[in-house]
Amino acid sequence: MSFADLFAEAMNGAPFVYEEGDEVSLMFDLTTVQSRMKRDQPQDLVLGYTRAMMAFTLLQAHTQHIGMIGLGGGSLAKYCHHYLPNAQISVAEIDAAVLALRDRFAIPANSSRFHIECIDGALWLKRCNSPLDALLVDAYGVAGMPESLATAQFFDDCRDALSDQGVLVVNLWGSDARFDSYYQRIRTVFDGAAIAIGADGCANRIVLAMKN
């Protein structure tokens, strides 16, 4: 893709794919990489913040049901599908344009243990009727975190959706002026059982909150 084509894609406001060498990236603008994949290892995690989000596996011996809000390029979904073969994975993605790119990022087809739905994450969470051992929220877009996914009510719904030993994992921008507000909401809902960690080579801050 030429720079002119790349610029035109970015100006449209739609997600677009940028390819360089053996890497394929999903981008929402010219400065921010949302997801990155290596063609020869599509199931592995390239960006540091995605590796940090998998820290929930250190807190659980067995993860049976994983929920995700925000698909992006599918890095976390593919990793869990490949490396946690006993887990059922359910993903909510609101943007049909993102879903339309799933083949470009080698995201598996829907199956009995892997399902992606085009739906607002807050609505999907209220309809979730199976306790989640892990809930991963990675929903930043061009305008930042959608407000519907950052309210105290949303985090209450997250806690209610978790199993007794469930873990909520939220990707936040450390430089976001609202970071402290989001973090304190999560800590309040989870009775202080939450911690924010950094990520290799990223400005992201990953919040892990434990129901028990």
- Known catalytic residues? 138
User: What is the C-alpha to C-alpha distance for residues 172 and 179, in angstroms, rounded to an integer?
Assistant: 7
Question: Tokens representing 108?
Answer: 């598996």
DSSP strand E in the chain: where?
16-20, 23-27, 33-38, 65-69, 88-93, 114-118, 132-137, 162-173, 194-198, 204-210
What are the tokens at 11?
A: 């100006």
Burial 62-83 (b: 16+ CB within 10 A, else e): ebebbbbbbbbbbbbbbbbbee
DSSP H or E segment with residue 120: none
Between CA 97 and CA 145 the distance in angstroms is 18
